[in-house]
Structure 1
Amino acid sequence: MSLPEPRRLRVAIMSDEIGWHTRQLQRALRARGGIGRCIDLADCEVDTSTGPHGLLLPGFGRTLPDAVIVRGIAAGSFEQVTQRLGVLHALQALGVPVWNEARAIERSVDKGMTSLLLHAAGIATPPTWATESMARARRVLVREAASGHAVVRKPLFGSQGKGLMLVGATPDGWVDLPEAPNGHHYLQRFLPPLAQPGHDWRVLVIGGRAVAAMRRVSAHWVHNVAQGARCEAAALTPELGCIAEAASAALGLDYAGVDVMPSAGPQPLQVLEVNGVAAWRGLQQVTSFNIAQALVDDLVDRKMAGLAPWRPSEREAAHLQVVPTRRA
Structure 2
Amino acid sequence: MKVLVVNDIVGNRSRGLAAALQRRGCDTITAALSEIGFDTGSPSGLAIPGFDGGDLPEAVLVRSVAAGSFEAITRRLGVLHALRALGVPVWNSAQAIERCVDKSMTTFVLQLAGLPTPATFAVEGREAAEAVVAREAGPLVLKPLFGAQGRGIRLINGVEDLPAEEEINGVYYLQRYIKRAGPPFRDYRVFVCAGKVLAMMARRGDDWITNINRGATPEGLVSHDSELERLALAAAKAVGADFAGVDILPDADGRPFVLEVNSMPAWSGLQSVVEIDIADAIAEALLGFLDARAEKPAMPLPASAVS
TM-score by length of 2: 0.91
Aligned length: 291
Counterpart-to-counterpart distance in 1, 2:57 and 2:90: 10
Find the aligned partners of 2:186 and 2:218 in 1 and give their Cα distance: 10
Helix, strand or coil at the partner of 1:273: strand
In structure 1, distance between residues paired with 2:209 and 2:291: 37
Residue in 2 aligned with 1:187? 174
Contact preservation (8 Å) 1:142, 1:168: no
Are 2:3 and 1:11 equivalent residues in the alignment?
yes
User: How many Å apart are 1:269 and its aligned residue?
Assistant: 0.3
Aligned to 2:23: 31
- In structure 2, the residue matched to 1:323 is none
Distance (Å, rounded) in 1 between the aligned partners of 2:291 and 2:71: 31
Structure 1: unaligned runs, 5 residues or longer: 1-8, 309-328
79, 84, 103: which one aligns with 1:111: 103
**1:159 and 2:148 correspond:** yes
2:139 is aligned to 150
Does the Cα contact within 8 Å between 2:156 and 2:162 map onto a contact in 1? yes
Superposition deviation, residue 184 in structure 1: 0.6
1:220 to 188, 195, 207: 207
Distance 2:151 2:292 in 1: 38
SS of residue in 1 equivalent to 2:71: helix
Q: Which amino acid aligns with 2:180?
A: P
C-alpha separation between the residues in 1 aligned to 2:144 and 2:293?
40
Which of structures 1 and 2 has the bigger CA Rg? 1
C-alpha displacement of 1:175: 4.8
Query: Contact 1:193–1:221 (CA<8 Å) still a contact in 2?
Result: no
Distance apart, 1:87 and its partner CA: 0.5
**How far apart are the structure 2 equivalents of 1:205 and 1:58?**
30
The alpha carbon displacement at 1:141 in A equals: 1.4
Alignment of 1:187-206 (within 5 A): 187-206=174-193
- In structure 2, C-alpha distance between the alignment counterparts of 1:285 and 1:204, rounded to whole Å: 14
- Pairwise CA distance, 1:304: 5.0
- State the SS of the aligned residue for 1:185: strand
Deviation at 1:133, TM superposition (A): 2.8
- 2:259 is paired with a residue whose SS is strand
The alignment yields a C-alpha RMSD, in angstroms, of: 1.5
Task: Check conservation: 1:151, 1:189, Cα contact below 8 A.
Answer: yes
Q: Deviations over 1:71-91 (max 9, x none)?
A: 000111111001100111111
| SS at 1:84 equivalent | helix
Alignment partner, residue 47 of structure 2: 56
Following the alignment from structure 1 to structure 2, what is the Cα–Cα distance between the partners of residues 141 and 257?
30
Deviates more, 1:269-278 or 1:220-229: 220-229
Query: CA offset at residue 303 of structure 1?
Result: 4.6
Post-superposition Cα deviations, 1:50-76, rounded to whole Å, max 9, x if no partner, equal x22110111112211111000000111
Give matches, 1:1-328, under 5 Å. 9-49=1-41, 51-62=42-53, 63-145=55-137, 149-169=138-158, 175-181=160-166, 182-234=169-221, 235-264=223-252, 268-307=255-294
Closer, same or farther: CA 150–304 of 1 in aligned 2, 3 Å = farther
- State the TM-score, normalized to the length of structure 1: 0.86
How far apart, CA to CA, are the structure 2 residues paired with 1:36 and 1:64? 13
Taking the aligned partners of 1:306 and 1:156, their CA distance within structure 2 comes to 36
Relative to structure 1, the CA distance from residue 303 to residue 189 in structure 2 (aligned partners, 3 Å threshold; closer, same or farther) is: farther
Structure 1 segments of 4+ aligned residues over 3 angstroms from their partners:
none
Show CA shifts across 1:82-139 (max 9, x none): 1100111111111111001111111111100000000111100000000003112112
Q: CA separation in 2, counterparts of 1:294 and 1:72?
A: 18
Whether contact under 8 Å (2:183, 2:206) holds in the other structure is: yes
Q: Which residue of 1 aligns with 2:300?
A: none
Structure 2 unmatched ranges of 5 or more: 296-307
Counting helix residues as a fraction of each chain, which structure ranks higher?
Answer: 2
